[in-house]
Amino acid sequence: MKKYRFLLALILFSGIALHAEEDFVIFRLVRHGQPGMRGTVFTPEQKAAWIGLGLTPLGVKQAQMTGEFLKKEGRNYKVIASPQERASETADIICGILGTTFTLDKDLREVGNAIRETLPKLRGRFKHIDPKENMTLTEEQAKGFKESVKDMGLRGKGVIMKLVQSGEKGPFLLVSHGAFMNATIFTLTGKRAAPWNCGMTELKVFKDGKAQIVKAAFPEVLPADMITDNLSTFSNDPWHAKFLPCKAERPKDLSFLNREFEFLREKKNSSWKRSKSCRLSTKEGLVTLKGAASSKEAATLTSPRFPADLAGKYTVVIEAKGSGKGFIRVQGGGSHCKTAMELTPEKKEYTLEAAPHKTYKIHQIIFGVEPSGTLSISSFKILPQKASSGR
């Protein structure tokens, strides 16, 4: 008899534990459609319709297709949006298709951004805001504030956990911003998701604060020619995993880095990026880095990330001159993967050997010079080595 009671208790306990494990809420996070920025051309009528920064015609189509996709899924989402116009407009289009309304949450805003949109102005433009919505703004929210990425992620987690603890079953559709989504997802799961415009990530969030990524990206929502942000920046970081739906061909060797350095020399758009403390100039075939004497940080020029396995063991070779102390470093190549340079007015050749690390498979090449120094590079190349040995 005792044995049967024990088994019954065990079954009951297992059932409770299983129920507890299933006690979660589904959240679908959606980034806004393509906003009117980066040189996008609008008609005067379209500009007059802006509250501040609305969607481009392509952004409207992205939101419409996202709404149609969500409608086919058949879930009854509770939709909440950032009041910043590009997110509110995206939510309004989606809700028009779903036949529902959305509420606003100021804590879904992008990092530290000012909220310029008052509720009366939003109501004047968007038809699908919940009639019971009563958003008000503090002076700080209206002006914006400085905020770290970590704090933004904690803010996003706070929004989600408040909904989880409210007892509402969801599922919830949160329409927000790219950096906000990335920081919030990382805070909850320890993993990153960098969404394109109208990109989505689905989370399963438990009451104890733990969360799981159900699906990191939904490339099936939009055709490849309508996916923006990642396609427009693909040439800057073509090997990065966040470009999941991008069908453009990845470079097969590191000649891409040489080409992009030549673009820099020719004053064209280049994926090589300077640091904030670096004054960069290109004259007479020289790429010159100058450090700011008032800065404590070195002036640097950094390549896009690339998979080291693509090159195997390789050597970075530059011809350079200048003043002060400089360096060549490979980020991800191990702590000793650095060449120090005592720069002189005469041009010299400097080299650095690198190879795939046991742990770090993604590399970046960095040139730098101390704050008061000058580094002028006249040539740059990467030479693959016959031996391919890891460190």
* 23-236 CATH fold: Rossmann fold (3.40.50)
How far lies 237's CA from each of 78, 233, 255, in Å? Answer: 36, 7, 14
Is the bond preceding 356 in cis, omega lying within 30 degrees of 0?
Answer: no
Global pTM reads 0.61
Return the SS3 of 191: coil
pLDDT in tens, the chain (391 residues): 555 555 555 555 544 444 444 689 999 999 999 887 533 445 555 555 444 567 888 889 999 999 999 999 999 999 999 999 899 999 999 999 999 999 999 999 988 777 878 899 899 989 999 999 999 988 877 777 788 999 999 999 999 999 999 989 889 999 999 999 999 999 999 998 878 899 999 999 999 999 999 998 898 999 877 887 755 566 667 776 555 555 567 788 888 888 889 989 888 878 898 998 899 999 888 999 998 877 888 999 999 888 888 878 899 999 999 999 999 999 876 656 899 999 999 999 999 998 887 777 788 999 999 998 999 999 999 888 865 444 4
Alpha helix (H) ranges present in the chain?
2-21, 44-48, 57-73, 85-98, 119-125, 139-143, 149-165, 178-189, 255-265
Element housing 364 (H / E): strand 362-369
| Residue ranges of domains in the chain | 23-236, 255-384
d(CA 288, CA 331): 21
**CATH architecture entry for 255-384:** Sandwich (2.60)
d(CA 182, CA 184): 6
Length of the chain: 391
Largest CA distance in the chain: 94
